[in-house]
Amino acid sequence: MYFDELSWERVMDIYELESASGVVVSVGGQLPQNIALRLQEEGGAKVLGTDPKDIDKAEDRHKFSQILDSIGVDQPAWKELTSVADAESFAESVGYPVLVRPSYVLSGAAMSVIQTQADLKDKLESASAVSPDHPVVITKFIEGAEEIDVDAVASKGQLILHAVSEHVEAAGVHSGDATLVLPPVNLDEKVMARVKEIAEKVAKAWNITGPFNMQIIKADAPGEESVLKVIECNLRASRSFPFVSKVLGTNFIDTATRALAGKDVPAPQDLMAQKRDYLATKVPQFSWTRLAGADPFLGVEMSSTGEIACFGKDLIEAYWASLQSTMNFRMPEPGEGILLGGSTELPELPQIVEYLQPLGYKFYAASEDVKGHLEKSGATIEVIEFPTTDKNALRGVFQKYDIRGVFNISKSRGKTLVDKDYVMRRNAVDFGVPLFMEPKVSFLYAF
């Protein structure tokens, strides 16, 4: 075992020193993928599993999108970035928001959801800088869609195993920061069959041998069939491989290793067709308390530093076990205070208050605008003092009103250190108060 940097030079040094007969690039995250093609073409190393040329076709956003088009797998409208003017024209034609996606990056680095033309230029420059040798693609971002995770193993282009997990959060939250549910509770048999068909097409098109992971978004239209669009495909094991293996009782990485070695590969098996009397949730663990001043806000770039999985007889039982394990604090009790904030143009916050109201909480807001927005729920909202520059004074406010929970649903990060929503989120973390900042997770708590 070697503990060293994952660079082309060090890998080749070890490969030559050990007279290795092959190298595996599909279980080390993003960095091995970035050097896979060079290992094969310059170093002469034998890469086990999926050919690095096919890995490149998945990592390169332009090639990836072209292949999906060629095999009839739907994806959001897209365009390769050639100039800011072209990007602006594309965004205007499909409508904001749009998503900027660089190639060959880890954890959504420099990936951004763009809401307005004013933000577009800066974000495009950031994306180009983080991956200068590879194309940047701009795609239509579908708001409110549900996201689906697929973890799978294939051998010579044939799908062997697959697991389908659903996100609680709406699309737009990085899969590493999302709450996963397996088996899914909101996907019918028809959707599950279509997801499997997409996985089979992708495995064949990229001639995959070994592990791979996909993200698919599901958008519903009244009276019509759900739309499924592939937004991501990584030809490597994801962080959720141990989770799906434990939940489904099948060791995915063992099967992937057999596929990589080409020995004793099992016959294809549909684990998702089996009925189970339990489910599990995978909930992210954040380290906001160790990141002084960081804005606790979820987006397309990953922020979590760990995760916890819990089982239950149903979603509520599994989720509550995960919540207690992850956050390690007491939940607000009836009669205690809930502080509410966020973007007043979003409809979810009054709905959350409507669900919370029967629990007997006292509701507080930091501004008249938010109060007016929340009163659409029919609840009584009290505006309280909210000092944004004096932490000790704000701590006193939390104590005075017995604030035991914060719900802050915002469209974007705070732009200044005195932004009320940023101060609310940040100090909820610093004061050890439960913070809910995503609508669907808030609904799940309220239920």
351-354: Cβ within 8 A, 24+ apart: 351/377, 351/439, 351/443, 352/407, 352/409, 352/439, 352/442, 352/443, 352/446, 353/377, 353/379, 353/381, 354/378, 354/379
Do 420 and 294 lie in one domain? The reply is: no
Assess if residue 65 is contained within a domain.
no
Vertex 396 angle, CA 395 and 398, to 5°? 65
Can you give the CATH number for the domain in which 166 is found? 3.30.470.20
pLDDT band at 49 (very low <50, low <70, confident <90, very high): very high
pLDDT band at 150 (very low <50, low <70, confident <90, very high): very high
Q: Which domain holds residue 429?
A: 331-446
> What is the four-CA torsion angle of 258, 42, 55, 90, rounded to 10 degrees?
170
**Exposed, middle or buried by CB within 10 Å (0-12, 13-18, 19+), for 43?**
middle
Answer whether residue 107 shows pLDDT above 70.
Answer: no
Do 29 and 136 lie in one domain? The reply is: no
> Residue written as tokens 């009320």?
420
What pLDDT score does 29 carry?
84
Do 257 and 314 lie in one domain? The reply is: yes
Cα separation values, 363 from 323, 329, 344, Å? 22, 20, 16
Q: Which residue has the higher pLDDT, 267 or 131?
A: 267
Domain final residue, candidates 140, 164, 179:
140
Vertex 428 angle, CA 425 and 430, to 5°? 110
Do 151 and 284 lie in one domain? The reply is: yes
How far is residue 97's CA from residue 422's CA, in Å, rounded to a whole number?
A: 22
Do 95 and 37 lie in one domain? The reply is: no
Q: Which residue has the higher pLDDT, 152 or 374?
A: 152
Answer whether residue 132 shows pLDDT above 60.
Answer: no
Do 280 and 350 lie in one domain? The reply is: no
What pLDDT score does 85 carry?
80
Can you give the CATH number for the domain in which 116 is found? 3.30.1490.20
What pLDDT score does 328 carry?
61
Assess if residue 3 is contained within a domain.
no
Vertex 327 angle, CA 325 and 331, to 5°? 95
Task: Name residue 60's beta-bridge partners.
Answer: none
What pLDDT score does 294 carry?
84
Mean of the pLDDT values across residues 244-259? 97
Contact 326, 406 (CB under 8 A): no
What string of DSSP letters covers 193-242? HHHHHHHHHHHHHTT--EEEEEEEEEE--TTSPPEEEEEEEESS--TTHH
> Residue written as tokens 């973390």?
429
180-182 vs 158-170, strand pairing mode = antiparallel
What string of DSSP letters covers 42-76? TS---EESS-HHHHHHHHSHHHHHHHHHHTT----
Model pLDDT for residues 203-218, shown as the tens digit of each residue: 999 999 999 999 999 9
> Residue written as tokens 């109060």?
371
Vertex 323 angle, CA 252 and 359, to 5°? 140
Model pLDDT for residues 115-128, shown as the tens digit of each residue: 888 777 767 666 55
Do 300 and 344 lie in one domain? The reply is: no
Answer whether residue 288 shows pLDDT above 50.
Answer: yes
Do 341 and 223 lie in one domain? The reply is: no
Assess if residue 58 is contained within a domain.
no
Q: Which residue has the higher pLDDT, 183 or 225?
A: 183
Total tally of structural domains belonging to the chain: 4
What single-letter DSSP state applies at residue 273?
A: G
pTM for the model stands at 0.86
Answer whether residue 108 shows pLDDT above 60.
Answer: no
Assess if residue 71 is contained within a domain.
no
Answer whether residue 105 shows pLDDT above 50.
Answer: no
Cα separation values, 302 from 6, 107, 298, 316, Å? 21, 5, 8, 25
Do 253 and 210 lie in one domain? The reply is: yes
Structure tokens given for 292: 């002084």
112-114 vs 98-101, strand pairing mode = antiparallel
Answer whether residue 180 shows pLDDT above 90.
Answer: yes
Vertex 429 angle, CA 428 and 433, to 5°? 55
Assess if residue 313 is contained within a domain.
yes
Look at 316-330, 333-347, 365-379, 383-397 and tell me which has the smallest mean pLDDT.
316-330
Q: Which residue has the higher pLDDT, 271 or 135?
A: 271
Answer whether residue 104 shows pLDDT above 70.
Answer: no
Mean of the pLDDT values across residues 326-342? 83
Can you give the CATH number for the domain in which 424 is found? 3.40.50.1380
pLDDT band at 111 (very low <50, low <70, confident <90, very high): low
